[in-house]
Amino acid sequence: MSTPPPAWLRGCGTALITPFTADRALDENALRLLVRFQIQEGIDFLVPGGTTGETPTLSVAEHARVVAITVEEARRAPRRVAVLAGAGGNHTAHVIDLAHRLAEAGADGLLSVSPYYNKPNPAGLVAHYTAITQAVPLPLVVYNVPGRTGSNITPATLALLARIPGVVGVKEASGNILQMAEILAALPGFRVLSGDDALTLPLLALGGHGLISVASNEIPRAMADLVRHGLQGDFAAARELHFKYLDLMQANFIESNPIPVKAALARMGLCQEVYRLPLEPLAEASRRQLEKALEKAGLI
């Protein structure tokens, strides 16, 4: 590992949705209210501008505005919360341009998904992340999500990326707990964060450092508490929260993220249920399952 991770990169961070108005414009007021809700409920850090934020449909200006609003609210709050801004893509020069914009907006770090579709080899990944960190000197977390990118960052490749100055951690959403264990064994001190709510507890038991959560959009206090209990070794308390909200964690992925979680937040009165194409609202059978999970969680 080349660069020590920042102290704030630990615990539970929320992969924030991006709320839209009825005409599909950015809903800045709803975003501010969502960020305030997160901070008031004790979330450890915030992650705007990721997949959950519908960033494939945001312009660069909108993406930067989402991060700027999040930073403004995080700095205004009585309790300062760090902002890990999403800055990923499959065109390195475009990612660097976006990363510059997010740094100017005040981001504390960057979360950068591995390039999708063009699927570079390990040497290409090293060159890609080296170019980003050299251009924008912020702590960078690699995001491994094979289900979205079409390729997996293996532990051996991640060990190469961890040598790059500025690369401080990984959001691991491979769904492979053995792979996560291999990363933790091979890279002591490197931050390993779960990218799957339902796999957070086993990752913490292996020595993982936290979670970037979808469910914490709906239940920030509960997910932050689950992670804190796990980090403190109180696995009985963490397990209780895990099973209490497991149905909700699963319902959030009954269709492509962020369709279910945005529907849930709309049902809770926190945003409008508006998406940008090609996303469309939940099918009725999925909506019924989500409603049951929300009722069980005591959210409606």
Query: Can you give the three-state secondary structure of 196-253, one letter per residue?
Result: CHHHHHHHHHCCCCEEEECHHHCCHHHHHHHHHHHHCCCHHHHHHHHHHCHHHHHHCC
As beta bridge partners, residue 45 has: 13, 82
Q: What is the DSSP letter of 114?
A: P
- The residue among 28, 37, 40 whose CA lies nearest residue 78 is 40
Cα–Cα distance, 228 to 230 (Å, whole number):
5
- Of the candidates 116, 117, 129, 143, the residue annotated as catalytic is 143
Query: Which residues, in sequence order, are CB contacts of 168 under 8 Å at separation 6+?
Result: 1, 3, 4, 5, 6, 9, 109, 139, 140, 141, 190, 191
Helix (H) or strand (E) holding 18: none
Residue 143 among the catalytic residues? yes
Using CA atoms, how far residue 76 sits from 27, 35, 37, 62, 71, in Å, is 19, 11, 13, 21, 8
Q: Answer yes or no: 171 catalytic.
A: yes
**Catalytic residue selected from 116, 117, 129, 171:** 171
Which residues are tagged catalytic? 143, 171
